[in-house]
Each structure stands twice: as C-alpha cells, then as structure tokens.
Structure 1
C-alpha cells in the first residue's frame, strides 16, 4: 500500500471540536469528562477517560502503543514487542471521529467518542503512521477504495450472544429468567415467553443503544440454550462496524448490572449451536443512475458483478478464516455444527453455504457472509469481506463451483493463520503492519491455549466467555 493508503484520520478543527462537545450539554450542565475509545485486535474497547479541557487541548488524548499488541489474556508477547512494535511502548495520539461523539448512557456530564491512532510510530521495520495498526482505519481505507471505484456498500449484521449466570456451580449455567426462577433447562427457541423474563435487561440495552444511535431492528431467542440474536437495520459499513463494537460493550456492561454475563464466545456449549455474526452486503453505484444496484439486473437476474464479488471472497477465504474465527474455541463452532460451513461455497438460499444469496427482489440482492463467529472483530471482518469482494470485481474473477477443491477451508486456527500470511490479497486489504501484528498476537494466544492441560476450561472459559 502507498503512504496515501495509510493516511490517518484527520485531526478535527479545534472550533468544530469545541462546538461538538458543547452541543452535548444537557440538564446536567457541561460535559466534564470525555472517554476516548479505540478498538484493539479483539472486540475490547481500550482508551482513556480524560478531562474535557485536556481533550480539547490535545484534540483527543495520548495512549501507549502497547494496547495494539496486547493479547486477550493481557499478555505482551516477545514475538510482538521488539520485532513488530516498539518495546519502549511509545505513545500515539488518539484522534476522535466526531461523527461518533455521544453521551455516555446513564453518565451525566460524560461523553464518549471513537478514535483511531495517529502519529509517527517507530517500528523495527521503519517509521510508519500509527493508523497502520488500527482495525477501524483498515475498514475506512477499504470504504475509500470502494468510493474511488464509484461504489458504496450497504451492510446489515445479525449478531448472536449468550446470557449466562456467573457464580454458579456449573461455570456455564444458563441465565435464570427472573430472580428466584429456574434457569433455562432446554432450548426455548423463538419463545416470546422466555423473552418477557429478560425485558428489564433488553429495555436497558435498547435505551443505551438509542443514545449511541445503534440501529437495532429487533431480537429473538436463538437455537441454543440461553442464546439470543439481535438484528441491525442496513447502513454504511463504518457506522455498522462501530455499532457492533459498541453493542458488544453495552451488552457486557448492562448484563453485569443485571447479574448476567453477556458472552459472544463462539462455542461455550459443545452440545449447543455456536455464536455467529453474519453480514449481509450489497453494493450500489455512487451518483445518480437509473439502476444503482450492482448485484442484480433490472429484470431480476444476478449480475456478473455478483459472481466477481463472490469469487474475490472465495480467493481469500482460507486466510480470512483467521479473522472470521480468531480463537481456538472458534473452530469448535465450525467442527461441531452443521450450520457453520467448512467450504467456501456459494449459492441461493441454503444456510449451509458460506456465501449465501438470500431470496430477494433485484433491488435487495445481497451476499450473506455466514463464516464469521460472534467473537470476530467487526472492523477486520468487514474490511476483509469488502476488500476481497472488491478485488474480485477489479480482476473480474470467476467464482469456483461447489466441489472445487479450492473451496475447502482450513480445519484450525494454525493453518488459517498460515493462509493469512501467504495471501497477497489480504496483505493488500489489511496492510502488512496490521497483518503481521495480527499474526503475532494470534499465534501467541494459540500457543498459550495449547500449553494448557484443559484448553477449554483453563483458557477458553476463563478468557473468552468472561467467567473465571
């Protein structure tokens, strides 16, 4: 990628920054504190809470670069710090995206804003801008490449999660429906009566999502014990990835206030279906066109561009699986469920396909990426999906048919990480610094897990499910 491809988020104009912060003033008075949040390689919001005056003076805040190389266990692997990141933990500037500035739900006089790292960072390979290490910046670059090609994307995620009860004899006890009531003992799929028991939790969750403009479109009990799915209204990619990242945080925070653990782990119950995060993606031509829809013809048939987009997804699917299934537990979801594809096949309607074309009219023609789990980073996931699809369009690739040996996906995280390292398309989409950082962190996490006598109990349940 060129230096221009790795450009950082522009620093906001001081006057615009002050006006945006002042615009949040409410009954409680001026905003006194600002939370600067950025995404790590997982789905954890990291950053600082700073005084509003300091936030305005710095147009953001400074943060040690160590946060971009931390593992999910809070480790600082030697294969990352030194070879890939400065072992001196140099600071970077967190630049706020003012379009994401919002009040903290239930926190008078406090605001929060999503940020990206910026500024020169001394890596062993040379000096680069810190934005090269940002998952959010990677997605923003892909969106810009789409725009330069005269295209824009509309996406809609479906996200599953578990509500679990901490502190039980069983470390994976299903959540109790109400104080004093018994936990769910059998799956109550699509039960409205079960949902009623959780109305206080979902009421608080929806209220907080409204404050942060997270476009929820409904929820239901899913096909696993104590599992729920939320749907999002369609929208632009960066805003939707922001929404998913913020939703995960809110669900965990609000769950804890209700005595629940909201978990996005891919397969906490071996005997139950896993947790997915499926994304519906469509493309439109920018500007005024009589027919803006890229994936279909006006008379209703699939366009050639739809095949090219899917072919790009197939071409990079093996390496992308390291992002779609980022932990050892993630592969239990794939191995132990008939709803998680093992091949990069595509077609219409069938939910056994990796890339499904749902039944729809021509104006709503879209691709559903069914490979990712709920534990994937939404920025990396969406950057990979859109970036690979765009590469297929640009090269006019032809999709592989079912049964083609090239559609076979890796059977574990280690071979998926190797496929990611060997994939030039993904190096272009993510940028080499971010790709190498991801490889280093994930290989260290995998080695930690393999060193455990009981990997699921001693590593997965402790670090991924949120239960100690």
Structure 2
C-alpha cells in the first residue's frame, strides 16, 4: 500500500490506534501504540524515539563503552520511519494495524539500526544484479511457566510443556493442539506463513520454518515470528524461549538461514548449474567461498550472546568447524543442490537467539564478498563427521574470543562499515563483561565448601 491507500484503509475501518516496532541491537522489538493522528503526522518526518534503545542491553542496562549515545549526548530522540509496506494486523490483539519501523530514509545521525544495515546490504545485492531469496527456521522450547513463576522460582525447576525426547511427534502436538494450531493459523493471518512445523527432539521443543521471501521481508518475518510465538504462547499459559541453550543436557535451539540468489525477474536460480559435477554454479561457489572466508571475522553476528557458544559444541546438532558439505548436517554450511527450484545454501551457525536482521545481513554480505572478489572455492566438501574436520579452522568457543576477532578485522569493517562494527563489537564486549562478573550456581556448588 502507498501512503494514501493506508490512510484510506484506516479511515474506512474506523481505526483509532496503530502499533509499530523496530528491532534493537539484540533483535528485541521495541515499539509503541500511537493514535492515528500522530501516525498521520509522522509519516513524512518520522517519529521521535529515545535513542537509548541502541544504548542499552537486553536488560535495559546502559552501555558504558559506546559512543553513539549515552550521558554524554543526553539520550536525545532520533527520528524513525514506519515502513508502510509492512502493514499487517495482529489477529490475537483485536486486529490492531501493525507496522515495522527503522532508522533509514530520514535526516539522522548514523544510527546502528539492524534493519537499516540489512537494507544497505540488500541494496548492494540488487546493484550487483541479484534478487536475494532467504528464509530462517527456528527451534524453541515451550514451558508451563510465566515470567512471574520463573521469577518466584529463581529460574530453577523449570517445567517443559511436555516430557521426554519425542522428535517429529504427532502425539505431542495433538496433546497441545489448541496452542499448536493457533501458532499455524495466527501466524498465517499475521503474514508469517509457516512452511512446516513439528516437534523436535527434547521436552516441549518445536521447530518451524518460514516460507522464503526477499531477504528484507524474510528478516522481518523472522523477527516478528519470535515475538509473535511468545505472545501466542502466553495466551495459552505457556512460555516460549528462543535461548540458544537452556539446559546443558538437551540440544540447543538453532536459527538456520536458507539462501539463494536469483535473476532479477526471479525466473532463474543462479546457484544451480546442472552441467557441474555438484550442480553448483560459479556464482554459488564464489558465494560459498565468501561465507567460509568471512566467517571467522563475523561470528558474533551469528552467535551474539554468551549462551550462544554453549550450543556450538560437538555432537549437539550445531557446527564447531569452518566446513561445508553436500546435505551434511555436521558442517557449518550445508549445500542443498538437487534441483534448480530448491538449490540453496544453509548457514547453520546461527542459533535461535541471533538477531535475524544481523544474521541475514552477515550471510548475504559475506556471500556477496566472495562474488565481488571472485574467491575460489578451494576448501573441499566435508564428507562424514564435520566435527573432526578442522583443516580450515574452528569456530570461536566463546563470545569474548569471537568479538575480539571481529574488532581486529578489516573484513568486518568492509562488510558493515566502521561505525556499525565498532558499536556492535563494543556491545558484545559489554555482554561478556556482564557475564564475567557474575557468580554462577556452578561456582557456588563447586567451590563454596570444598576449596
């Protein structure tokens, strides 16, 4: 819809309020409900929003190591703009109109906005003559809990929605059919069509794959899915968690990214070449080579939290080595190449905790880097156990190590710009500091009496 069509829709449906939100550096949606009068007044000039949303962490604690905003700037408003093309209604909230916003297209300082960063990368892709088609899939755990019950129990004795390890279970989803089908139907009505949803191995864990779309729309849907699932779950007295690894003994939660490049008319998949031994075009090989080359420089874009690296361990269905393979789920990058329609790259490093805008920007930018520089695919495909193939290096084992590599990287700055890279890396160092100063239950149990 264009501006006039949106205004006509609001008037015709006697709408008084709209809701909008944007993603912060951690991918958390921050937003407001505003009156239609304010909505109309800000369509051209933008809406003032305190820039503290890019100056604090996921717990609203203020960064002390970033320059974009802080006490030194007075935390002013920055104008964000609503993207009218993202209009949808929220079916579980009386169909209030909802829009996604970002910080592009208005006169403002260099705001470290994840969606704006992805828009820049997507524009580079189009300028190179490619249409980017992406989709993200998520695993998450569901619990018979609420924010209040978890706080009262100090996050101990957490009760999953269902017991036992029961992947691809028809029984478990039927036992919670009201919730299960609300997810399918309400997400569809919210313009997040689900290609498939099923239980994964683990107590109360689901996996859902979103139908592919242009990279920006795919990231919008991924960011909205995480929040929507939590809201729908809450309606059923259920708490959903996209934490990468909530329990040491259970599998982690992935956020794999599926991607392909097409001709601008969307008629030809440029990753597929039936004349090649592996059905891989030169474009696909350069794209893959770029992802492998850039990976050590940008790991925090895929694994942004301290907890992310608890998932990236051997034998836990998550990669630990810089590898690729044909339909190999132990490699960091999995190639699916059976047909032109479905030929794609699956980047398997991201967990469900990743910011979709940053993870998709990282995947696309690094692939384009390979195409731009015509990087040769010199690393052979891994067959068998990817955990044992360390010839091309390993993924950092913790956030500090990954952030340090990104801070020192000229490649990261080339991909994302110096300003954004500096801000993002410093937020990751802040995250590590919050963890490092905390005394854990493990330390108490291990050292309190016996040392």
Return the TM-score normalized by structure 2: 0.88
How big is the shift at 1:208?
Answer: 2.6
Q: Deviations over 1:409-449 (max 9, x none)?
A: 21111111112122223223222222222112221121111
Coordinate RMSD, CA, aligned:
2.4
Q: Pick from 326, 330, 333: which aligns with 2:311?
A: 333
Q: 1:139 to 1:83 in 2, by over 3 A?
A: closer
Q: Counterparts of 1:304 and 1:85 in 2: how far apart (Å)?
A: 50
Q: Counterparts of 1:457 and 1:248 in 2: how far apart (Å)?
A: 32
SS of equivalent residue, structure 1 residue 107: coil
Q: Quick check: 2:298–2:362 contact (8 Å CA) kept in 1? A: yes
Q: Which runs of 5+ in 1 are unaligned?
A: 1-11, 122-127, 177-182, 459-468
Q: 1:288 to 1:210 in 2, by over 3 A?
A: closer
Q: Pick from 25, 49, 62: which aligns with 2:33?
A: 49
Q: Counterparts of 2:266 and 2:100 in 1: how far apart (Å)?
A: 32
How big is the shift at 1:109?
Answer: 6.9
Q: Counterparts of 1:322 and 1:91 in 2: how far apart (Å)?
A: 28
Q: Deviations over 1:100-151 (max 9, x none)?
A: 1122323347321001125444xxxxxx343xx1111111111111111111
How big is the shift at 1:363?
Answer: 3.7
Q: 1:442 to 1:234 in 2, by over 3 A?
A: same
Q: Counterparts of 1:245 and 1:342 in 2: how far apart (Å)?
A: 25
How big is the shift at 1:222?
Answer: 0.4
Which residue of the partner structure matches residue 411 of structure 2?
425
How big is the shift at 1:84?
Answer: 7.7
1:367 aligns with 2:349: no
How big is the shift at 1:53?
Answer: 0.5
Which residue of the partner structure matches residue 211 of structure 1?
189
Which residue of the partner structure matches residue 466 of structure 1?
none
**1:334-413 alignment to 2 at 5 Å?**
334-335=312-313, 337-399=315-377, 400-401=379-380, 405-413=391-399
Which range moves more in the overlay, 373-382 or 44-53? 44-53
Q: Quick check: 2:131–2:266 contact (8 Å CA) kept in 1? A: no
Which residue of the partner structure matches residue 8 of structure 2?
22
Q: Pick from 60, 71, 93: which aligns with 2:79?
A: 93
Q: 1:457 to 1:153 in 2, by over 3 A?
A: farther
SS of equivalent residue, structure 1 residue 101: strand
How big is the shift at 1:268?
Answer: 0.3
Q: 1:295 to 1:82 in 2, by over 3 A?
A: closer
Q: Counterparts of 1:143 and 1:56 in 2: how far apart (Å)?
A: 28
How big is the shift at 1:288?
Answer: 8.2
1:272 aligns with 2:250: yes
**1:59-78 alignment to 2 at 5 Å?**
59=43, 60-78=46-64
**1:1-400 alignment to 2 at 5 Å?**
16-24=2-10, 29-59=13-43, 60-80=46-66, 87-108=73-94, 110-118=96-104, 119-121=106-108, 128-130=109-111, 133-166=112-145, 167=149, 171=156, 173-176=158-161, 183-184=162-163, 186-287=164-265, 292-299=268-275, 301-335=279-313, 337-399=315-377, 400=379
Q: Quick check: 2:290–2:371 contact (8 Å CA) kept in 1? A: yes
Q: Counterparts of 1:365 and 1:398 in 2: how far apart (Å)?
A: 19
SS of equivalent residue, structure 1 residue 63: strand
Q: Quick check: 2:55–2:68 contact (8 Å CA) kept in 1? A: no
Q: 1:451 to 1:425 in 2, by over 3 A?
A: same
Q: Counterparts of 1:52 and 1:407 in 2: how far apart (Å)?
A: 54
Q: Pick from 428, 434, 439: which aligns with 1:453?
A: 439
How big is the shift at 1:210?
Answer: 2.2
Q: 1:286 to 1:18 in 2, by over 3 A?
A: closer
Which range moves more in the overlay, 43-52 or 264-273? 43-52
Which residue of the partner structure matches residue 414 of structure 1?
400
Q: Deviations over 1:36-79 (max 9, x none)?
A: 21110112110221111011011142101110122012111111
How big is the shift at 1:404?
Answer: 6.5
How big is the shift at 1:359?
Answer: 4.9
How big is the shift at 1:86?
Answer: 5.6
Q: Counterparts of 1:108 and 1:365 in 2: how far apart (Å)?
A: 40
Return the TM-score normalized by structure 1: 0.85
Q: Quick check: 1:309–1:390 contact (8 Å CA) kept in 2? A: yes
Q: Deviations over 1:318-340 (max 9, x none)?
A: 13211211111111111254421
